Each structure stands twice: as C-alpha cells, then as structure tokens.
Structure 1
Amino acid sequence: MSIHWLEWDADGFRIPHRTADRYPIVALGDSFTEAANVGKPWPDVLADTLDRPVRNLGFRGFGPREERQAFDRFGDAAAVDIVVIGFFEGNDLSNAVTSRGRAFQPPSEVTDRSMIPTDVSTIAERDERYPMQVELSGGSEDIAFLEGYVWANTGTVETYAESVNLDLTARSWRQIAKQAPDACIVLAYFPVKSHVYLPYLSEAGRARLIEKAELTVLNDNGEVDTSTGTPFVRGGAGSARQSARRGASACRSGRLGDARPHPPSSNPPPRTVRWSTTHMTRTGTSADMISWAKQSAMRLRMGCARHLSPSATDGLISIRLLLMCQFQVPFASCDRS
C-alpha cells in the first residue's frame, strides 16, 4: 500500500506537484482523477510527461454535470489549451442522471473531504463466490468485481444510444467545449476493472460470475437503470429490456469478448491486483490506470479513435464509440506542439 500526504487547495481540489499561477491544462474527473489512494495521480504524471502544469479538478463522486460545473467555476477557460475529461465507464453515465436537481457543491464545502474511509471489515452482504481467479503471467491471482459495474456494461449499443444518460453526458461535454472554444478537449476513457480482467477469468470463475447475470436496461424514463439490475431471463421483458438481452445472452454463453483498451505489449496487465478495490490499484501506484490515461491524453483525436474500437459487438459492449462517434462530441483538433 502507498503511504502519502494529501493536500487540497482553497477550492478543495488536490494540489498538483507542479503548481502555477495559471494552468494551460485542466484535468476533470471523479475519484480516478483525484486519486486520493495513490501518491501521484495521473494528472501529475501527465504534467511531468508534457513538462507543463496541470490543474487537477477531479473529485470523488463527480459525474459529467459536476465536472462541467467545476470547469465553469475553477477552470480559467481563457488560459486553458487542453481539457482532459476522465470518463469512468462504471458510473459516470448513471451520475449524469442522479445529479439532476442537486445543487453543485464544490469540494471546499464538503466537510468530510479529508476523511478517506478505511474500515472495510464489515460488509452488508458476503458473497461466497469470491475471490475468483484470473490467469495472468502463467499463474493465478485472486480477484473480486463490484458486480454493479460488471453488469452495467451488458447493454447493446441501442440501449445506451437511446438513454437520457448518454444525452446528458454529451451535453455536458459540449458545454465544456463551448466554454473553452479554442481548447483541445480530450477524452481519457477509464475502464472498470472487470472490463480489463474478464478475458483472463478462469472457467470456474466465469461460471460462478454468470450465476447472477443481469441486464442493463432502460427504465420508463429512458434512463439506464441504476438499481441492482434485472436478472437474465429467456422470456419477454418489454422492448427496452429486449434491446439489452443480446448482451446478457452473450455473457451466459461465455462470449464475453475482449474490449480492453489494448495497452501496448510493453505494458502487460499487472501480475497482482488487490481484489478488494474497485480502483485497480497495484501496490499503491495505479500504474496501469496512469499508463492508459497518458496514452489517451496523448493520442485521442476528434472522431472515431480506431485504436479504441472494441473487438466484440455483443457481450460486454463498450460505450466508447457511442461517446466519441455517434454523438459527435465536438472535440477540437489536438495537433499542437
């Protein structure tokens, strides 16, 4: 585990290693961007890589709406050249809906922001199926998944495309682009742990996982259902649920697909992952998340990024192409010196 100091500025955001009076690069996001569980968050790694200061406006619990409001209030749009939006596929779409009607609360007004929960000795329900095993580097390692994240990615393209969630997310990004019309808007896509490691899950673990297979569906309001999910059934379940059935069916048949971000071969999946966390940390460094974030920040361009295309169109459907192509979020050109 990492032992490190956490310091926040007057606005309640994590103080970057490279401080400046004005920041040409701003990083937006949630707990993956704030990264309170590591000593060096990916915005600091990006700052070192580019030799330019990066303002970290990420904070735990933020969704697309809060990120847009944080940029509006603290982003200094006139000084910004690049805005990196850290998108976490696990809950950012749901947060786009659940934050509606709730007043924006800047981190400086969150009285318990310095309290990082550490008591994990008591859980509401113990799942005897865990830990499962993933087969990595010729050996097996224990792992556990937060299953709400696993089944949040089993909808079809149509499920997400028809959702209010995706519309609100794209709307927030367009507003960010409008606030900084001359800036390069970059999407750094953060997959859930299961999205990366399911292809390596043992056959026994796969069988246990799909015992509770659930559908990603839309409710009557056109929102992605944020409850515990709908168990997979072979009978009819309404038009919205039918649009998600193919994904769960693929999971049941074991066709999980490989929709990983495909890091280069020089950076293989880690040998050991702490299976008690949802943040994919490894010995306190988040090395793989940082690597993928750096690649995204350095390589993503306007339109469909071919290197992010999933290799499967069913099973664990990636929403990357919807976010970047179908909704045509107006990202500016990033070809800058």
Structure 2
Amino acid sequence: MDFKLFVSQVAHPFILYVLFGTFFSYVLIKQLFRMPRFQSARAKVYMLFIPLLLPFGAFIILQTTRYQQCILTVDYNHKTFNMINQWLCSMGNVLATYITPLFLLTGALAIFKAIVSLIACDRMIRRYGFALPENFPVLFTILRGLCHKADIAVPRVLVTRDRFARSFTFGFKKPVIVLSQGLIDNLDEDELEAVLAHELAHIIRSDSILNWITVFLRDVMFFTPVMYWLFRDLSQEKEHATDDITIALSGKPLALAGALIKVWRMSPKNIWASIALDNFMPYPNFAAGEGALEGRITRIIDRDAYRETGLSKILLPLIAVAGSSLLLLYLVC
C-alpha cells in the first residue's frame, strides 16, 4: 500500500473517527458520571475505555461496510447535509495528509519508549537485585500477610537506594514491586502496609499492562485534546479503584491517607520526574500530583461517599454509549 492510498483509506477515516468518536462518547460518559449509580471507580474505569477504544472499533466495523476513496461520500438527499458531508471529507483529507507522518512518528516513538522502559527495568534489576526476606523482615512479613488475604502469590520486591519516596509495580506475569529506601525508612508499619496493599491492588487489577495500553493509545491519538482529558480521568479513576482494594486489604484508610501525604512530600518534583519518568516508565507512582492527591485523600476519608456498582448494571449504558457513538460516526463519517 503506497502512502496516498494509506492516507485516503486508513489515516483519513481513522482520524475522523478519533476526532468525532472520542469527543461524542466522552461527553456522554461524563454525563452518566453525574448519576449516583455510576459513582463506582471500577465502573468508571470500564466506561472510560469506551472512547479510548471506540475509534479502532469504528474503523474495523464501518470500514468493512464501505470501502471508498473518501469515506464521506454518502448522498443524504439534503443540501445542508451534503454540504457538511463534503466539508468533512475535505477537512479529513487535509488532516490526514499532514497528520499521517506525525501519526507514524508517534507510533515509532511509542515503541521506542516501550523498549527504553524494558531496558530501564532490566538495568534496575541488575543494579539492585531482588530484596531478601532476611534483609527486610518487617516488609516481607506484612507483604506475606496481605498476599495471603488477597490469595495471590508473593511478588518479588526490589529496593532502590534512593532517599526520596517512590513506589510502583512493573511486570505482568512476574510482577515486581519497587520501593525506595527513603520510603521504607520514613513510613511506620501501618503506612508501609498501605503502600504494599496499594501495589498489590495494581497487580490484582493488572494495571501494569493496562497502563502500557492507555499510554500507547494516548500517544497514537495525540491530535485530539479529548485524549488528554480522557487519559487524566482514566488515570485518576484507576487510582481510586486501586485505593478501594487497598482499604479492603489493609482495613486502614487513615494509614493510606497518611502514607499518601508522606510519600508526596518526599517524592521528586523536578521536570525529569514529572515528564521523563512518567512517560518512559509508565507505572503510576503511589502518590500522584497535588490536585489528584487531595481528591484521593478526601475520597479515602469520606467512605460514606463510596459506592460500588456491579458491572452488570453498567452493561446496558456501555452498549448504549458505544452504539450511539458508532451510529453518529456512520452518519457523519
């Protein structure tokens, strides 16, 4: 497939699906979040994946039903609709022509970032090695108790010599919990238990692979502002869902809140930490930015506001949002 054919039959429709599909489905989902029955963080995470995956689903479904040089050539027998139709088609061609090289570049960059992250994790393991129970008896005693309660295998632990506070988990089949020495030295046992329970919650939720997927999709669909709002909301709700599991495992919400404050105060706040680490090591640190942190602590303390929604109750809304978004894309794209 030559470049012009790729632009007209792949990049052109996909760009329009991203621009219109993500915006429309994101607006619908944000309206659903206003309803009490959709306040569960776990339910919100599932729903926020709709606008993230919709452009790909639309491309697969709609492109199989009409494969044309310009996908916006439907005759609506209406002057205004046809004028809008032709304008969108022209706009899509222009955007596709200029965005496609950047689209390919960001795809290559996303792969490069994945390779860099894997190399960084491997170098970290080679540099520090895995922690041994005899060197950190309190840490492993707490960890074994939490794993027994969660009914999961005890993951490997890596302790860096950094004096700042940082914790995250990487790996999918063989997860590794990374803790800094500064974090271990400055937290009491209850707060350390909260941090370990939080990292185990990420393992239970398979957030390591989900973070890779969301970061990759955000980079690929860089040309729409909605993607950055969506990524922000999704990251926030994933942390809320993880906090809920943390409290269920440890039973100590105040210790979790205290640990969040301590870790945030001791976390690096320079440009390298906020940009480079979070992009090339896409594993969420235990404590996020100040604004998100305040919301998390308020939610942890105010457990009366917590609501859990069964996934069966959001199935129909999910189908409705996806179906209406696909219908809109079929009509205008």
* TM bucket, shorter chain: under 0.3
Identify which of structures 1 and 2 has the higher relative contact order when contacts are C-alpha pairs closer than 8 Å and 6+ apart: 2
More strand by share: 1
More helix by share: 2
Larger radius of gyration: 2
